[in-house]
Amino acid sequence: MLVAMARKTASDDPLAPVTLAVGQEDLLLDRAVREVVAAARAADADTDVRDLTPDQLQPGTLAELTSPSLFAERKVVVVRNAQDLSADTVKDVKAYLGSPAEEITLVLLHAGGAKGKGLLDAARKAGAREVACPKMTKPADRMAFVRGEFRTAGRSATPEACQALVDAIGSDLRELASAVSQLVADVEGTIDEAVVGRYYTGRAEASSFEVADRAVEGRAAEALEALRWSLSTGVAPVLITSALAQGVRAIGKLSSARGGRSADLARELGMPPWKIDRVRQQMRGWTPDGVAVALRAVAEADAGVKGGGDDPEYALEKAVVTIARAARSRGRA
């Protein structure tokens, strides 16, 4: 089953004469193909599948593949990177769209940009079933993807667990999907943040946020330990400064916001409610002056790791210590 992020339009029947999968997210494109093939083979176990690249689909090839068979066999014809088809082959495909053959499902994978837009428009005009497979560049999209993966598996995961998994794995959807599958297979009951931590602590993307969390909580020794681990495992220093900046800015945004329910503050500040609750715990001890000091420390570290200093590691250590001290500034003279 496709996750919710791969939105479908027109007929939801995977055996529609033509399926148009649009986007650049490889995992979702592959799933769109697998869904059609699975449905076809459920209807006919002997379904013939032809998976073609543009150079394999020459003028006349589509007509040959879709010509009536003596045995009326079911067939799935997959055309990848349809935006790269030659002009003559595009003419063949457009002609086919006007009169698709029975027992044959054509799957067109198209990047969705300006290139090859004529074919894209023609398929839509012909009423093709469309599956949107957008590249997921925003963290919120990847969070929605992970939640969808757990729902599809019939399992429950806390928002904190989903966020921790995205932080740990990063932006690769295949790795995220694989991680969800592993957790679902290995863990019973609701999957929480602690479970994700046990499985994925030490991943590069996760460790940068570990540094930030410990620093804004004022736990300097633990933050420095996490920093050294991150650097030793190859985490780019710029990822660590980015995580530090996010952590300090969250403290500043919440401390200057009006009090209220987490859901209300989430809407006001553009944070998920679970993060509001976490930052509330982290901001104890912070003052406005402390936030200002920490932001300056992050800016100096950022400049240091981007060529403004001789020792990026020292720049990060200095920032971590400064932020941890700022987190404990309330009550000090």
The whole model's pTM is what? Answer: 0.59
Beta strands in 156-302 (DSSP E): none
- Distance CA(112)–CA(22), nearest Å, equals 5
- Residue 190 dihedral angles phi and psi, to the nearest 5°: -65, 135
The highest-level CATH class for domain 139-200 is mainly alpha
The average confidence (pLDDT) of the chain is 85
Which residues sit opposite 86 in a β-bridge?
A: none
Domains in the chain: boundaries: 18-133, 139-200, 208-327
In the block, residue with structure tokens 């969250």: 250
In this structure, how many other beta carbons lie within 10 angstroms of the beta carbon of residue 8? 18
Domain 208-327, classified CATH 1.10.10.10, yes or no? no
- Distance CA(207)–CA(211), nearest Å, equals 6
**What is the 8-class DSSP label of residue 157?**
B
Fold of the domain built from segment(s) 18-133: Rossmann fold (3.40.50)
**What is the 8-class DSSP label of residue 258?**
P
What is the chain's pLDDT, residue by residue, as a tens digit (333 residues)?
344 344 444 458 999 999 999 999 989 999 999 999 999 999 999 999 999 999 999 999 999 998 876 566 889 999 999 999 999 999 999 999 999 998 899 999 999 989 999 999 999 999 999 999 998 878 788 899 999 999 999 999 999 899 888 877 777 788 889 889 989 988 899 999 888 877 776 554 556 788 898 999 999 998 998 888 878 767 778 888 888 998 898 888 888 765 666 666 766 666 666 677 778 888 888 998 999 999 999 999 988 887 766 788 999 999 999 999 998 765 443
> What is the SS3 assignment for 4?
coil
> What is the SS3 assignment for 236?
coil
Contacts of 124 (CB under 8 A, 6+ apart): 20, 130
